[in-house]
């Protein structure tokens, strides 16, 4: 089977319950919660893709991937009336960084879309580092699959 | 007095205490807290510039300015060792929106910088609207002063 | 079958993923997050027991159950290494209030236990009220089952 | 001067701005935020009383005072219409723990009151310990003054 024949991997979607605690007097999720939701979705992607949450990365591998950039466009309010589905797609794996696209939808409607870039660091001492090889080995196939 | 002679308005700076509650196991402020900090600084700017916080806008004027875009570049970790000074500058007042630049610094060091755009809405019913005239009257002079 | 023969209802347990975002520099969940977790578990109990989350109560029924008392004893730190299972048990349904016991466990270990009391109110206008009859009809059998 | 003549120390009050971000669709501060506010007030008391915030305790002294108990009675909703003044009083300094009373007021009205108990620990390795002598030396006079 040639690469072009390979089945396209289904998108990774992390579902969030939007709670009373997340909403403000306008009866929608507070703006500041939306980056939290997107970050939670990205952390869930890490667990799925490489089997490590951020704490395990930090505690067991002595590395991390703190964010150096985020941007978000809000297209429709996020409400407590529906679950929030956050689709996470890795878009680029660099020499020492990784980029993601996150799209949030409720009941089929686009709510927000954004881009997130993380740079790899060693935890202790805190310092920049190149992409860990075991991370690269797991993520590159996902990026290839995403292109097919 | 020519414009170049007019006194430049001092920047608006909102100081935040970075607390234990804000920090993660890497001993720095959690990424998700940084948009919160920037939003808090922008709300403080509103109180200073037009005398209304977001709740007063909503409850007393029946309008609001929810965010349609945010972007942030993180230049250095935000730590609990120093206060965080967030400088807020309005950069553009449109027919129905307003844009801000927010720069966060600790102990003189640049930590993050970003852009935030809000669109004006009526609260009940929730719908887009043009920039409230009383807001325009108060903010346009600030934008002019910022250019000098 | 007599009431005393009826099968005991299994406890309601709400599972929470303890995330990097929840943890502080001591590498455990921040104290302030623990009431959030317990409240989230109680709201999940409401969804299970009466089919309404707090937003639906507020928006569709015009009532709510704000808390008038909480207490928590912390027996062991909550860590990001294990999921947190919060067991919620209604302990008393009064004329205008309801009480819950919440017990948090990780990997079989008791982490915290506490009591929470809510008083029923109408949302608009905000005022005390008696326990809504439809709530009473759904919850009283649960309390009876809990005693068997 | 006899003890009864000694000037009574003024209460320690920490003022909090209740923001849009803190409020829920009922237009009052979300219940889960209230323990956060009380904890923030207690941390501010530590800074005032012994010159250390929780991060400095952890990073510079290798000890901490995690909470083993909290209880709160909510007497009136906390609103974004007024600042929240949290009065913190140490009530007991034990062999290895310290207890506080926290009272929250807005515009002169009692909003909540509660009790908080912390147990002293060494940070690394995490283990119980007795009250640090330098902490005892600073806090005992405050407790005495509180009794006068």
pLDDT band for A1, please (50, 70, 90 cuts): very low
Averaged pLDDT, B93-97: 98
Q: For the beta carbon of residue C105, count every other beta carbon within 10 angstroms.
A: 20
Tell me which H or E stretch contains D104.
strand D97-106
pLDDT band for B1, please (50, 70, 90 cuts): very low
Question: How many residues in total does chain D contain?
Answer: 148
CB contact under 8 A, B71 and A67: no
Tokens at residue B87, please? Answer: 């400088």
Q: Which residues of chain A have a Cβ shorter than 8 Å from any chain B Cβ?
A: 25-26, 28, 31-32, 35-36, 39, 55, 58-59, 64, 66-74, 77, 123, 126
How close B139 comes to chain D (CA, Å)?
A: 21
CB contact under 8 A, A23 and D21: no
CB contact under 8 A, A39 and B31: yes
Distance CA A83, CA C62 (A): 22
pLDDT > 70 fraction of chain A, expressed in percent and rounded:
93
For residue B29, the chain A residues in CB contact (below 8 A) are: none
Which pLDDT score is estimated for C33?
98
Which pLDDT score is estimated for B56?
98
Which pLDDT score is estimated for C114?
98
Question: How many residues in total does chain A contain?
Answer: 148
Q: Calculate the average pLDDT of chain B.
A: 94
pLDDT band for D2, please (50, 70, 90 cuts): very low
Averaged pLDDT, D121-136: 96
Tokens at residue D42, please? Answer: 């207690």
Which pLDDT score is estimated for C93?
97
pLDDT band for C2, please (50, 70, 90 cuts): very low
Which residues does residue A18 pair with via DSSP β-bridges, in sequence order?
Answer: none
Whole-model pTM: value is 0.94
- Work out the burial of residue B111: count CB atoms within 10 Å of its CB; fewer than 13 is exposed, 13-18 middle, 19 or more buried: buried
pLDDT band for B8, please (50, 70, 90 cuts): low
Percentages of chain C per state (helix, strand, coil), in multiples of 5:
30, 35, 35
Q: What is the pLDDT of residues C84-130, one digit of tens each?
A: 999 999 999 999 999 999 999 999 999 999 999 999 999 999 999 99
Q: What is the pLDDT of residues B41-50, one digit of tens each?
A: 999 999 999 9
Q: What is the pLDDT of residues D31-50, one digit of tens each?
A: 999 999 999 999 999 999 99
Q: What is the pLDDT of residues C26-56, one digit of tens each?
A: 999 999 999 999 999 999 999 999 999 999 9
CB contact under 8 A, C80 and A53: yes
Q: Which residues contact A14 (CB under 8 A, 6 or more apart)?
A: A40, A41, A44, A45, A85, A86, A88
Which residues does residue D121 pair with via DSSP β-bridges, in sequence order?
Answer: D64, D128
pLDDT > 70 fraction of chain B, expressed in percent and rounded:
93
Q: What is the pLDDT of residues D10-21, one digit of tens each?
A: 899 999 999 999
pLDDT band for C144, please (50, 70, 90 cuts): confident
Q: Which residues contact B42 (CB under 8 A, 6 or more apart)?
A: B88, B100, B102, B116
pLDDT band for D146, please (50, 70, 90 cuts): confident
> Are A128 and A50 contacting, i.e. CB atoms less than 8 angstroms apart?
no
Distance CA C67, CA C15 (A): 22
Q: Is residue D59 predicted with pLDDT exceeding 50?
A: yes
Q: What is the pLDDT of residues B41-92, one digit of tens each?
A: 999 999 999 999 999 999 999 999 999 999 999 999 999 999 999 999 999 9
> Are C53 and A19 contacting, i.e. CB atoms less than 8 angstroms apart?
yes
Which pLDDT score is estimated for C9?
74
pLDDT > 90 fraction of chain C, expressed in percent and rounded:
90
pLDDT > 90 fraction of chain A, expressed in percent and rounded:
90
Minimum Cα–Cα distance from A47: chain C residue: C19
Chains contacting chain B through 3 or more C-beta pairs under 8 A:
A, C, D
Chains contacting chain C through 3 or more C-beta pairs under 8 A:
A, B, D
Percentages of chain A per state (helix, strand, coil), in multiples of 5:
30, 35, 35
pLDDT > 70 fraction of chain C, expressed in percent and rounded:
93
Q: For the beta carbon of residue C92, count every other beta carbon within 10 angstroms.
A: 12
Averaged pLDDT, B113-133: 97
Which pLDDT score is estimated for D77?
97
Which pLDDT score is estimated for B2?
45
Averaged pLDDT, D72-94: 98
Q: What is the pLDDT of residues A77-94, one digit of tens each?
A: 999 999 999 999 999 999
> Are C6 and C145 contacting, i.e. CB atoms less than 8 angstroms apart?
yes
Which pLDDT score is estimated for A146?
74
CB contact under 8 A, B25 and C21: no
Is the preceding omega at residue A36 within 30 degrees of 0, hence cis? Answer: no
Q: Which residues contact C40 (CB under 8 A, 6 or more apart)?
A: A19, A21, C14, C16, C86
Distance CA C23, CA B63 (A): 36
Distance CA C113, CA C72 (A): 6
* Cα–Cα nearest to B26, from A34, A135, A57, A129: A57
Distance CA B124, CA B118 (A): 17
CB pairs under 8 A between B and C: 24
For residue B81, the chain D residues in CB contact (below 8 A) are: 55
For residue D77, the chain C residues in CB contact (below 8 A) are: 66, 126
Of the listed ranges A124-128, B20-24, D118-122, the least confidently predicted one is: A124-128
């Amino acid at each position: 089977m040639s690469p072009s024949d390979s089945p396209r991997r289904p998108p990774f979607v992390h579902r969030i319950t939007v709670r009373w605690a997340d909403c403000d007097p306008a009866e929608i999720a507070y703006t500041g919660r939306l980056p939290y939701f997107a970050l939670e979705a990205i952390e869930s992607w890490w667990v799925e893709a490489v089997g490590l949450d951020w704490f395990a990365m930090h505690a067991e591998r002595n590395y991390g991937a703190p964010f150096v950039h985020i941007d978000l466009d809000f297209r429709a309010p996020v409400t407590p009336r529906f679950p929030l589905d956050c689709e996470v797609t890795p878009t680029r794996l660099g020499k020492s960084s990784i980029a993601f696209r996150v799209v949030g939808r409720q009941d089929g409607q686009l709510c927000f879309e954004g881009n997130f870039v993380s740079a790899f660091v060693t935890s202790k001492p805190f310092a920049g580092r190149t992409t860990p090889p075991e991370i690269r080995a797991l993520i590159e196939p996902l990026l290839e699959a995403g292109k097919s």
